[in-house]
Structure 1
Amino acid sequence: MLYGHGSAERPLDESDVAKILAEALSALPVDGKRLLVIIPDATRTAPIALLFRELYALLGERVARLDYLIALGTHPPMDDAAIDKLVGADGPGRRASNVAIFNHAWDDPSHLATVGVIGEAEMGELTGGLLPIETPVRINRRIFDYDQILLCGPVFPHEVAGFSGGAKYLYPGIAGPEIINTTHWLGALQTSIATIGVKDTQVRRVLHRAAEFVKVPVLCAALVMRGTDLHGLYVGPHAQAWSTAADLSGELNIVRTGRRFSRVLSMPSSKYTDLWTAAKAMYKTEAIVEDGGEVVIFAPNLGEVSVTHGALIDRVGYHVRDYFLGQWERFRDVPLSVLAHSTHVRGTGGYDVASGVERPRIAVTLATGIPEERCRRISLGYADHRQIDPEAWMGREDEGIFVVRNAGEVLYRP
């Protein structure tokens, strides 16, 4: 059964959230049992502190454990100060004896367990023959210490899965490297521009198949945001809650501009701390850039390409998909998720194998704290952010110039 509601016109308030959660969780058979809530890190906009308070108020005295696992994927772990900011330092339950908060560790085998394997034939069926490779499904073994899992997080247009949320909080949220790599490369093969904002994607089908291997009962609280306002909350089976939330998210987080532009100044949210996460400013604006145009990612606060994968990206650089496919032997040992990220940032384009010439559809320029030499080395353009006044770019749509503030979660289409 699906609980909750949403509206494009009116945000939910705290009383709405409390009522929906109370209705959805009152009959959940968790008295005296152990509940694990899987939540996003700080790179997703969501009222996690509010949900943390409400869940403790509703369940804190009912359950034996009310623990949280942060769905980091391959993002770096959060320290105590960052966790306090995420869930509320002084909120009810933060220091309770039956509450603990854990970081996922995707690259530590001791934290992972294999729950199944999607074989070549089945992967071929799920991906329409695009990626028929055997994929072990590993997940954080902590989930087996609990009687119930609650996925809790927002649903946005997403470059790999089409829309984030739902089973994506399991894979890649708390997954091992194999399915992280497979799903990200599958998304790259289809290209971000053809995937983002689409509900029924091959990646989503793989995620739902992988979720079937999890035998602990799973419930999902899917959130829909517009900016910092919560407009929807749906609680129920993960596929159903996610699907309903994705419909509303498509209304609220996909903007039609009515045209394309020659230059887009995309200013990512300050919550992103490296290009790996801030590159959403490119993914969400790529479609509104004319052929031969340019996206300028303006983020003076960014000084790192990727906290986790920086060395690999320095080696590989940013290239279109066909650049890698055209010389696969050269790159086959690079993790597929890194190659996928590379293609998502560089966007669509072509590569001529005979001449070795790469032809990206658009230019991508960094106006960040990343030095010019490094930008050139990873095959991205460079602009001195000190020479850019965003206000001077405003109001120039008639000249083919468009500005996106707080970029990263809203998808722009022509």
Structure 2
Amino acid sequence: MKNYSFKYGRGELLCKINEKLILNTLLPRVAAPIIDVKEAVIRAIENPTASASLKNVIKKGETVVIVVSDITRLWIKTDQFLIHLIDYLNAMGVEDSHIDILIALGTHRPSNEGEKQAIVGNEVYNRIKIHDHDCFDSKGLDYVGESSFNTPIFINKRIVKADRVILTGGIAFHLFAGFGGGAKGMVPGVAGLETIQHNHRLTFNEGINTGLNPKAASNKIDGNPMREDITEICRMINPDFLINAVLDADGRFLKFVAGDFQEAWLEGCEIIREVYGIELKEKSDIIIASAGGYPKDINLYQTVKTMDNCLYGGKENSVIILASECSDGLGASEFLNWFQYKTLEEMEKALKKNFTVPGYAAYKAAYTGVYRKLILISTLPRDHVEKLGFLPANSLDEALDLACKLSPLEPKITLMPYGGNTLPIIN
């Protein structure tokens, strides 16, 4: 028996596992971290991909809106590189008073002041005007047309009216958009509710009881209708510049990509594939996974991404043990309401009639509960966990004992200590 640790909130959980049972341990590939963040940011800005350098894009006196990720993406560590971007703009002659920061909330809850400060850093917080995007505020949105996927396009007025727009963010595998980052800063980041809902409906096949579109999945870009719609809409808005970060599992910067919002982002996606796409020869009977600690396990809504990654590494009807503190609860007030439907077919029908993003996340959680036995270690109320179709546990040791009872003798186990990042790929 050997002790293993898994991140949980701001701490960790321990358990003892028979080493002979472990089939795979999914760890990101080792890559050299950036030592000088400022130098790396400036180098990326001045040597962009498929774009003129930033100093040739923005002119003195122009207004600039910088889009940043919200508190659920605190792992991006925007506070550590945003200041260098703003100082660079200042040196170009763009004053602080001409810069606005817009937090890309999508459909997430508003940020409090402490969260705003944590996102952008103390100095930026005290220098630059910071605004939350509100997808529900029709007065704060402009209609700019319709995509070829028939998505009505409503975008935050600050984006439409600004002389220049810069997207920031971080890149990781994403369960239905292929990868995070890039154009997702625009949609769903600063888009209206109607735009977000219509775009996310593309994750389903057309028709009744047709299920999820397999092309709207992690690691898929070409042919992914949701991602292609996002890209098309973003190209219509045509942000002037992008800077995205790629980080390792310990939160150290590996690369900054900058320039055209699509071409630079694609470079970052390739790095994610190299670092976090882990090839497996065999699926396992039990997966033990951590969402990766705070903020990746801030709520169940965010933890659905880890559930999705786990689906790729386990046999059908295998067991997933998931450690996710969920200090912020479910993450959306309506999440639990979707579990009034007793089957996936009923939930899908209701979603197609009245689509919401939390509803989709609930569907994905329900899907996991149908095709896997999921044991959840969290701070969620026990009755909530059971209503979701999961089995609650108080510790990893308790969860593993239960998982072994639900599995074949001498089950094969896969460990995913960075479950929110690593994607199992069966070769």
Q: Which bin holds the TM-score, normalised by the shorter protein? A: 0.7 to 0.9
| Local SS of the residue matching 1:366 | strand
Report the equivalent of 2:137. Answer: 108
- Which of 83, 101, 125 does residue 116 from structure 2 map onto? 83
- Which of 244, 251, 270 does residue 294 from structure 2 map onto? 270
Report the equivalent of 1:351. Answer: none
- Which of 203, 209, 221 does residue 187 from structure 1 map onto? 203
**Compared CA separation, residues 392 and 256, structure 1 to 2 (3 A):** farther
| Local SS of the residue matching 1:284 | helix
After superposition, the C-alpha distances for 1:341-373 in whole angstroms (9 at most, x for unaligned) are 12322337xxxxxxxxxx932223322222232
Q: What is the CA–CA distance in structure 2 between the aligned matches of 1:214 and 1:156, rounded to whole Å?
A: 23
Which range moves more in the overlay, 143-152 or 403-412? Answer: 403-412
Report the equivalent of 1:143. Answer: 159
**Compared CA separation, residues 331 and 70, structure 1 to 2 (3 A):** closer
Shift of 1:387: 6.5
CA contact (8 A) 2:32 2:254 kept: yes
CA contact (8 A) 1:188 1:344 kept: no
Report the equivalent of 1:170. Answer: 186
CA contact (8 A) 2:335 2:358 kept: no
Report the equivalent of 1:371. Answer: 381
Shift of 1:333: 4.1
CA contact (8 A) 1:154 1:164 kept: yes
CA contact (8 A) 2:178 2:218 kept: yes
- Which of 21, 30, 36 does residue 59 from structure 2 map onto? 30
> Are 1:203 and 2:226 counterparts?
yes
Q: What is the CA–CA distance in structure 2 between the aligned matches of 1:365 and 1:224, rounded to whole Å?
A: 31
| Local SS of the residue matching 2:263 | helix
CA contact (8 A) 2:184 2:230 kept: yes
Relative contact order, higher structure (CA 8 A, sep 6+): 2
Q: What is the CA–CA distance in structure 2 between the aligned matches of 1:410 and 1:174, rounded to whole Å?
A: 27
- TM-score, with length taken from structure 2: 0.79
- Which of 223, 243, 258 does residue 221 from structure 1 map onto? 243
Q: What is the CA–CA distance in structure 2 between the aligned matches of 1:142 and 1:20, rounded to whole Å?
A: 26
Which range moves more in the overlay, 240-249 or 404-413? Answer: 404-413
Report the equivalent of 1:56. Answer: 86
Q: What is the CA–CA distance in structure 2 between the aligned matches of 1:202 and 1:332, rounded to whole Å?
A: 16
Report the equivalent of 2:393. Answer: 384
- Which of 297, 318, 335 does residue 355 from structure 2 map onto? 335
Amino acid at match of 2:391: Y
Q: What is the CA–CA distance in structure 2 between the aligned matches of 1:193 and 1:229, rounded to whole Å?
A: 31
- Which of 265, 269, 278 does residue 246 from structure 1 map onto? 269
After superposition, the C-alpha distances for 1:10-37 in whole angstroms (9 at most, x for unaligned) are 2233222233234532322231111111
> Are 1:73 and 2:106 counterparts?
yes
Shift of 1:188: 4.2
| Unaligned segments of structure 2, at least 5 residues | 1-28, 48-52, 206-211, 403-409
Q: What is the CA–CA distance in structure 1 between the aligned matches of 2:272 and 2:421, rounded to whole Å?
A: 10
CA contact (8 A) 1:60 1:66 kept: no
Shift of 1:161: 0.9
Identity of matched residues, %: 19
After superposition, the C-alpha distances for 1:258-277 in whole angstroms (9 at most, x for unaligned) are 32111112222221321111
Q: What is the CA–CA distance in structure 1 between the aligned matches of 2:165 and 2:390, rounded to whole Å?
A: 44
**Compared CA separation, residues 213 and 18, structure 1 to 2 (3 A):** closer
CA contact (8 A) 1:156 1:410 kept: no
- TM-score, with length taken from structure 1: 0.81
**Compared CA separation, residues 176 and 373, structure 1 to 2 (3 A):** same
Q: What is the CA–CA distance in structure 2 between the aligned matches of 1:284 and 1:387, rounded to whole Å?
A: 19
Q: What is the CA–CA distance in structure 1 between the aligned matches of 2:214 and 2:112, rounded to whole Å?
A: 31
CA contact (8 A) 2:341 2:347 kept: no
Q: What is the CA–CA distance in structure 1 between the aligned matches of 2:401 and 2:371, rounded to whole Å?
A: 26
Amino acid at match of 1:411: L
Amino acid at match of 1:95: N
After superposition, the C-alpha distances for 1:309-360 in whole angstroms (9 at most, x for unaligned) are 335435457x64x4545xx2x5554324244212322337xxxxxxxxxx93
After superposition, the C-alpha distances for 1:64-85 in whole angstroms (9 at most, x for unaligned) are 4122111111111211111212
Q: What is the CA–CA distance in structure 2 between the aligned matches of 1:191 and 1:297, rounded to whole Å?
A: 25
**Compared CA separation, residues 212 and 68, structure 1 to 2 (3 A):** same
CA contact (8 A) 1:159 1:193 kept: no
**Compared CA separation, residues 178 and 299, structure 1 to 2 (3 A):** same
Q: What is the CA–CA distance in structure 2 between the aligned matches of 1:164 and 1:361, rounded to whole Å?
A: 25
Shift of 1:392: 9.0
Report the equivalent of 2:44. Answer: 20
Report the equivalent of 2:259. Answer: 236
Q: What is the CA–CA distance in structure 1 between the aligned matches of 2:377 and 2:125, rounded to whole Å?
A: 39
| Local SS of the residue matching 1:247 | helix
Shift of 1:294: 1.8
| Unaligned segments of structure 1, at least 5 residues | 1-6, 124-133, 349-358
| Local SS of the residue matching 1:399 | coil
**Compared CA separation, residues 194 and 401, structure 1 to 2 (3 A):** farther
Report the equivalent of 2:414. Answer: 402
Shift of 1:296: 2.3
Shift of 1:233: 1.6
**Compared CA separation, residues 10 and 33, structure 1 to 2 (3 A):** same
Cα RMSD (Å) of the superposition? Answer: 3.0
